[in-house]
């Protein structure tokens, strides 16, 4: 991962060069500056998108990656040793002073720690280490010099290379190739074996034929070296009946026939192998479509498209010019194509497998719009390509097959028209499930089962090894999915491959993922955006490329959870290991030291026994069975840590020395539940002095804001109890975006000391959760009346356990950006709530739970953006006002343990809307009480969104192999960026290869 390594190290060097602490300059400043310049040059080179994927580029990237890793190891190990030596020096001074005799004024000798060398030996060792690191870094700079020269030579050759006369993006070296198609992917197979030489393109029936070939014959086929366009003659080849896309076929046909007479572009979007080409081809060959359009033409574009071949393939399907087409120049071909389409009555063009907007730009002006109902179908894996082609036309997104559809397709591939034997039905269902709805996988595994013995034992073996069976029996399966990876820009590759640290079927919380990306240094700062904003753009880009699947979005449209398809994850794990980026261990085996040293990251799933001392030859850190009942004090020497998340059961105090972790960006601390209770934490005020800290998350903890602390990077602060919102305290954390605070109160609590009205001064705050909890659960204790002032940019507001005036509610309603409002265990000053015109203009989600509300007066124009209304345990509420149904944006009314009259009124609103033609409103009634939204603990611990998930809780004590840190040996872990100690036997370490 050359780009990610360069980006991470350049950011580290920037911190060193711009640091006011001159002791952080570990080597001569000229050496650091020289290294920074060379890294920046290579970073710019990789960011240049004009350099196409090739063996030369791959070789250069490998050299850049290895050299950068070496430099990073030297720099970060020096930083670690500086901190360690400073700590030891301070300890020695303190201990020597303690050992001085009280009388006679005689200075005694130093009090030596056990096994500690004399000071002059320590100094000599330090100087020797510094000299070795200087020389090592100089060698790296020389290697980078050599790489830079090779890059310059390559750029000169590229500049001297003449442009292709045909306008192609890559020249073709051979015309002796045959195209074999599956889905939206075209495989070019060169130099076919003799037994296939007489087979024409039309006779090849797609991937089923390839799967049916003898294994030996398949292995003789050479791997494709290029992709090119094909004509409609290939699109009309006979194929087996389409399974699972009947509804899709009807919807596409409806868009093709009738409706608007203007030229319309219909884009079919989805991941590789999901069936885009299959759907397009079945539409293309449908008898009604054939009759409706006078001219039909099909071309497959692919990644390395050739304009001349693209135009030739289109014209070849609509003219009889034959070999004359291949003698024409590009301009002649364009003119012929335009004239042909202009003269016909109605045409249909299919552009299959489009990867670049440039490919569309090459031909879009050649499709005349005669207002006669002509259509263009475009298939692509990239949503941005579809939007670019026509932002006004609908985009048809392909979904995965259901289990029923998957089983039907699998049985068809294995048995044809025959039925599956009863003894294999159950195993067949298991195999179909393992393919996760991807047609490509089902077809490949179906072909394998078709040509093998249909025994229960063999099917059970396949059921346990579906992924390996698919990739082992059809290498091009991985190649098809790899196209998406090869097309990724460098900035996205590390983020994508990092997804391999998560187990299969894992629901990934976006906020968690973004913090990890930031901690790993994968994100390039873009002024004035924050790293988190950049990360969200990266994630959306990967989603648009159909590499990551959206699991859940908030009603404001914000991403909440995502996941990756098992087969995409398998691709990630393969590519990550090839790139020396990540190795995933998921079996009960010993970890090879060689594997650890060759991989930058290590992700361990399952019971793995290993000795941390094996990571480095010169250290002896052991790994024993031990439960941490306190935060290991030695962890503060891991000065390169950027992310810590853990649960522990010991003392209530977090040591103040944790503030020594000067590079820490995220700190998450949970307490283990004791008898159903979470014990309160005490966090040292020094935490807010940590310069890089961006996210501080914990549960029920006390935190003071010291007068000498100021953190402009802090964005998230949750779990604070009785936080005093003085102007001075809030001024020291001015860029806070998320704040979660709780207040314990009794009958004599004076709310004025907390200065809650000052919250209005947090101008960057977007999410506020404010909870009020009684010290003793006395039934007659009325929730406190508090005066709150809300920040102007607030988007999400949760109030729990309080009572506010209608003046405050009006203030809340006037917030211009408020999209989510949750009122829990809430008392209204009056049991009647009257909303007003102009309030809650952008509110999309409203939850009201456990309150004294009796009557609600609202007009259909009062909540113009509301999408979801949630009511939970409102015992006094008589009914939902019928005017709620008049809100045009309303989609869901969710009820949890509500009175029968409320439920009845909700269904009456739904029926009334259905009579008016509005079928979009849904009512969901749940008898059991349900907490709206996921609490912080629930997000990290229970992961209830998917029962099949194995959530890696960030916990120390549940690891089967516990790590113990020793004072003298902890240096072996000092250069880890991320230390996630997690439950369910999953944890991830940032690997270091310097020792």
498/513 Cα distance (integer angstroms): 9
Q: At 729, list the tokens.
A: 């305290």
pLDDT tens column, 196-220: 232 222 222 333 332 232 223 223 3
978/988 Cα distance (integer angstroms): 7
DSSP 955-983: -STT-SS-B---TTTGGGGTT-SEEE--S
> What mean pLDDT do residues 771-783 have?
73
- ω into 528 cis (within 30 of 0): yes
3-state secondary structure of 489: coil
32/59 Cα distance (integer angstroms): 26
954/940 Cα distance (integer angstroms): 8
Q: Which residue has the higher pLDDT, 305 or 93?
A: 305
Please check the confidence at residue 509 and state whether its pLDDT lies above 60. yes
Contact 138, 70 (CB under 8 A): no
DSSP 347-400: EEEEEES---HHHHHHHGGGS---SS--EEEEEES-HHHHHHH-SSS-EEE--P
Name the residue among 503, 444, 392 with its Cα closest to residue 207. 444
> What is the three-state SS of 821-888?
EEEEEEEECCCEEECCCCCCCCCCEEEEEEECCCEEECCCCCCCCCCEEEEECCCCCCCCCHHHHHCC
**Least confident piece of the model among 50-54, 235-239, 847-851, 954-958:** 954-958
Contact 886, 869 (CB under 8 A): no
Provide the CA 599 distance to its chain's centre, in angstroms: 21
Q: Which residue has the higher pLDDT, 267 or 558?
A: 267
> Phi, psi at residue 282, to the nearest 5°?
-65, -35
With pLDDT > 90 as the criterion, what percentage of the chain qualifies? 29
**Least confident piece of the model among 543-547, 583-587, 812-816, 851-855:** 583-587
Please check the confidence at residue 90 and state whether its pLDDT lies above 70. no
Cα angle 926, 929, 933 (rounded to 5 degrees) comes to 95
Maximum mean pLDDT: which of 111-125, 410-424, 766-780, 966-980: 410-424
Q: DSSP state, 633?
A: G
595/583 Cα distance (integer angstroms): 8
H-run or E-run covering 14: helix 2-17
> Phi, psi at residue 482, to the nearest 5°?
-65, -25
Q: Which residue has the higher pLDDT, 533 or 971?
A: 533
Contact 506, 944 (CB under 8 A): no
What distance, in Å, lies between the first and last C-alpha atoms of the chain?
20
Grade residue 661 by pLDDT with cuts at 50, 70 and 90: confident
Q: DSSP state, 504?
A: T
Grade residue 943 by pLDDT with cuts at 50, 70 and 90: very low
3-state secondary structure of 582: strand
The pairing of strands 820-828 and 803-804 is parallel
Bridge partners of residue 767, in order along the sequence: 738, 796
| Residue 784: partners with Cβ closer than 8 Å, 6 or more residues away | 745, 749, 751, 772, 802, 803
Please check the confidence at residue 958 and state whether its pLDDT lies above 90. no
Please check the confidence at residue 951 and state whether its pLDDT lies above 70. no
Strand stretches in 362-476, DSSP E: 375-380, 395-397
889/700 Cα distance (integer angstroms): 38
Q: DSSP state, 683?
A: E
| Residue 538: partners with Cβ closer than 8 Å, 6 or more residues away | 491, 492, 495, 517, 523
Q: At 182, list the tokens.
A: 């599956």
752/388 Cα distance (integer angstroms): 56
Grade residue 592 by pLDDT with cuts at 50, 70 and 90: low
pLDDT tens column, 731-759: 989 999 999 999 988 878 888 888 988 99
H-run or E-run covering 559: strand 559-563
> What mean pLDDT do residues 796-818 have?
87
**Least confident piece of the model among 77-91, 109-123, 505-519, 523-537:** 109-123
Mean pLDDT across the chain: 75
**Least confident piece of the model among 646-660, 758-772, 900-914:** 646-660
The domain over range 403-479 is classified in CATH as 1.20.1330: no
Give the Å distances, CA to CA, from 5 to 569, 642, 857.
22, 16, 59
Bridge partners of residue 884, in order along the sequence: none
Q: At 198, list the tokens.
A: 């007489």
Contact 570, 471 (CB under 8 A): yes
Grade residue 906 by pLDDT with cuts at 50, 70 and 90: very high
Q: Rg of the chain over CA atoms, in angstroms?
A: 32
Bridge partners of residue 846, in order along the sequence: 821, 869
**pLDDT for the residue 930:** 41
Sign of CA dihedral 434, 438, 444, 446: positive
731/759 Cα distance (integer angstroms): 11
Grade residue 85 by pLDDT with cuts at 50, 70 and 90: low
588/606 Cα distance (integer angstroms): 7
> What mean pLDDT do residues 918-925 have?
89
Name the residue among 690, 670, 784 with its Cα closest to residue 732. 690
> What mean pLDDT do residues 388-408 have?
89
Q: Which residue has the higher pLDDT, 92 or 908?
A: 908
Please check the confidence at residue 287 and state whether its pLDDT lies above 80. yes
Instruction: Let me know if 30 is exposed, middle or buried by CB neighbors in 10 A (0-12, 13-18, 19+).
Output: exposed
pLDDT tens column, 681-739: 888 888 988 889 999 998 788 888 877 778 889 999 999 999 998 888 899 899 999 99
pLDDT tens column, 603-620: 776 544 444 333 332 222
875/873 Cα distance (integer angstroms): 6
720/736 Cα distance (integer angstroms): 14
**Least confident piece of the model among 130-134, 387-391, 416-420:** 130-134
The pairing of strands 508-509 and 559-563 is antiparallel
pLDDT tens column, 151-203: 888 877 766 655 444 444 443 333 333 233 334 433 332 333 333 232 222 22
Sign of CA dihedral 562, 566, 571, 574: positive
**pLDDT for the residue 679:** 67
Contact 436, 565 (CB under 8 A): yes
**pLDDT for the residue 424:** 92
Contact 846, 818 (CB under 8 A): no
With pLDDT > 70 as the criterion, what percentage of the chain qualifies? 71
**pLDDT for the residue 965:** 32
Report the interhelical angle of 466-473 vs 475-486 (nearest 10°): 90
**Least confident piece of the model among 228-237, 323-332, 848-857, 860-869:** 228-237
> What is the three-state SS of 256-309?
HCCCCCCCEEEEEECCCCCCHHHHHHHHHCCHHHHHHCCEEEEEECCCCCCHHH
CB atoms within 10 A of CB 35: 23
Grade residue 259 by pLDDT with cuts at 50, 70 and 90: confident
Where do the domains of the chain lie?
A: 2-160, 226-397, 403-479
Fold topology of 226-397: Rossmann fold (3.40.50)
18/30 Cα distance (integer angstroms): 14
Q: List Cβ<8 Å contacts ≥24 apart for 103-112.
A: none
3-state secondary structure of 616: coil
HSE-CB for 301 with a 13 A CA cutoff: 24
HSE-CB for 406 with a 13 A CA cutoff: 24
């Amino acid at each position: 991962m050359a780009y990610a390594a360069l980006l991470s190290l350049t950011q580290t060097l920037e911190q060193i060069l711009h640091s006011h602490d001159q002791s952080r300059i570990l080597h001569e400043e000229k050496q650091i500056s020289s290294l920074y310049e060379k890294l920046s040059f290579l970073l710019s080179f990789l960011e240049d998108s004009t350099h196409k994927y090739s063996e030369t580029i791959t070789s250069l990237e490998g050299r850049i990656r290895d050299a950068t890793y070496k430099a990073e190891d030297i720099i970060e190990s020096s930083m670690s040793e500086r901190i360690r030596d400073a700590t030891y020096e301070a300890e020695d001074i303190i201990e020597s002073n303690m050992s001085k005799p009280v009388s006679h004024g005689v200075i005694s000798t130093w009090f030596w720690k056990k096994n500690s060398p004399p000071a002059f030996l320590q100094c000599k060792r330090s100087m020797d280490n510094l000299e070795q690191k200087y020389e090592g870094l100089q060698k790296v700079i020389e290697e980078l010099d050599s790489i830079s020269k090779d890059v310059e030579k390559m750029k000169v050759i590229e500049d001297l290379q003449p442009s292709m006369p045909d306008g192609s993006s890559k020249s073709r070296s051979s015309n002796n190739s045959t195209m074999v198609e599956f889905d939206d992917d075209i495989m070019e197979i060169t130099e076919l074996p003799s037994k296939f030489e007489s087979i024409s393109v039309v006779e090849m029936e797609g991937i089923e034929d390839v799967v049916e070939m003898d294994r030996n014959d398949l292995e003789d086929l050479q791997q494709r070296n290029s992709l090119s366009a094909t004509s409609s003659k290939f699109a009309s080849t006979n194929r087996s009946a389409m399974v699972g896309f009947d509804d899709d076929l009807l919807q596409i046909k409806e868009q093709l026939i009738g409706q608007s007479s203007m030229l319309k572009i219909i884009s079919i979007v989805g991941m590789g192998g999901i069936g885009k080409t299959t759907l397009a081809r079945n539409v293309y060959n449908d008898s009604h479509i054939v009759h409706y359009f006078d001219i039909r033409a099909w071309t497959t574009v692919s990644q390395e498209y050739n304009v001349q071949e693209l135009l030739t393939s289109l014209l070849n399907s609509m003219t009889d010019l034959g070999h004359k087409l291949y003698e024409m120049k590009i301009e002649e071909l364009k003119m012929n194509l335009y004239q042909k389409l202009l003269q016909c009555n109605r045409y249909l063009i299919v552009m299959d497998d489009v990867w670049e907007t440039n490919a569309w730009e090459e031909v879009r002006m050649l499709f005349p719009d005669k207002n006669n109902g002509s259509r263009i179908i475009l298939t692509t894996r990239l949503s941005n390509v579809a939007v670019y082609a026509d932002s006004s036309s609908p985009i048809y997104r392909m979904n995965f097959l259901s289990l029923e559809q998957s089983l039907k397709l699998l049985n068809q591939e294995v048995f044809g028209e025959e039925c599956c034997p009863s003894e294999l039905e159950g195993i067949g269902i298991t195999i179909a499930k393992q393919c996760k709805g991807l047609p490509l996988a089902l077809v490949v595994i179906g072909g394998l089962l078709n040509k093998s013995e249909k025994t229960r034992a063999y099917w059970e073996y396949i059921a346990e090894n579906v992924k390996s069976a698919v990739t082992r029996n059809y290498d091009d399966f991985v190649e098809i999915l790899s196209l998406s990876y090869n097309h990724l820009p460098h900035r996205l590759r590390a983020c994508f491959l990092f997804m391999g640290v998560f187990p299969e079927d894992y629901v990934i919380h976006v906020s968690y993922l973004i913090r990890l990306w930031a901690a790993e240094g994968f994100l390039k700062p873009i002024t004035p955006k924050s790293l988190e904003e950049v990360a969200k753009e990266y994630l959306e880009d990967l989603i648009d490329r159909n590499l990551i699947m959206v699991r859940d979005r908030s009603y404001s449209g914000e991403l909440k959870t995502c996941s990756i398809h098992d087969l995409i994850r398998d691709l990630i794990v393969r590519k990550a290991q090839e790139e020396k980026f990540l190795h995933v261990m998921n079996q009960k085996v010993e970890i090879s030291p060689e594997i650890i040293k060759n991989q930058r990251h290590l992700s361990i799933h399952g019971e793995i026994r290993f000795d941390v001392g094996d990571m480095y030859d010169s250290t002896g850190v052991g790994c024993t069975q031990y439960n941490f009942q306190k935060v290991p004090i030695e962890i503060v020497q891991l000065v390169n840590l950027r992310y810590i998340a853990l649960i522990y059961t010991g003392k209530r105090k977090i040591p103040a020395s944790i503030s020594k972790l000067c590079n820490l960006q995220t700190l998450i601390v949970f307490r283990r539940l004791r008898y159903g209770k979470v014990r309160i934490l005490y966090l040292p005020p020094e935490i807010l002095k940590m310069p890089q800290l961006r996210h501080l998350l914990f549960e029920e903890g006390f935190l003071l804001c010291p007068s000498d602390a100021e953190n402009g990077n802090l964005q998230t602060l949750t779990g604070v109890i009785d936080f005093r919102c003085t102007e001075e305290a809030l001024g020291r954390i001015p860029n806070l975006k998320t704040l979660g605070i709780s207040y314990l109160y009794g009958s004599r609590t004076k709310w004025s000391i907390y200065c809650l009205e000052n919250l209005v001064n947090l101008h960057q705050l977007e999410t506020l959760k404010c909870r009020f909890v009684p010290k003793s659960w006395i039934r007659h204790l009325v929730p406190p009346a508090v005066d709150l002032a809300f920040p102007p940019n607030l988007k999400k507001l949760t109030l729990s356990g309080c009572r506010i005036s209608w003046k405050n509610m009006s203030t809340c309603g006037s917030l211009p950006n408020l999209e989510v409002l949750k009122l829990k265990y809430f008392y209204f000053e009056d049991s009647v709530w009257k909303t007003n015109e102009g309030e809650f203009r952008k509110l999309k989600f409203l939850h009201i739970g456990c309150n004294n509300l009796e009557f609600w007066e609202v007009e259909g124009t009062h909540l113009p953006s509301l999408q979801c209304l949630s009511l939970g345990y409102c015992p006094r509420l008589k009914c939902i006002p019928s005017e709620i149904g008049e809100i045009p944006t309303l989609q869901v009314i969710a009820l949890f343990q509500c009175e029968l009259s409320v439920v009845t009124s909700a269904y009456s609103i739904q029926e009334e809307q259905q009579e008016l033609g509005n079928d979009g409103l849904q009512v969901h009634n749940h008898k059991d009480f349900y907490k709206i939204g996921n609490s912080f603990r629930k997000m990290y611990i229970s992961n209830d969104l998917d029962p099949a998930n194995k959530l890696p809780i960030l916990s120390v004590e549940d690891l089967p192999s516990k790590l113990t840190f020793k004072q003298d040996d902890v240096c072996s872990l000092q250069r880890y960026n991320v230390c996630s100690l997690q439950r369910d036997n999953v944890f991830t370490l940032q690997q270091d290869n310097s020792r």
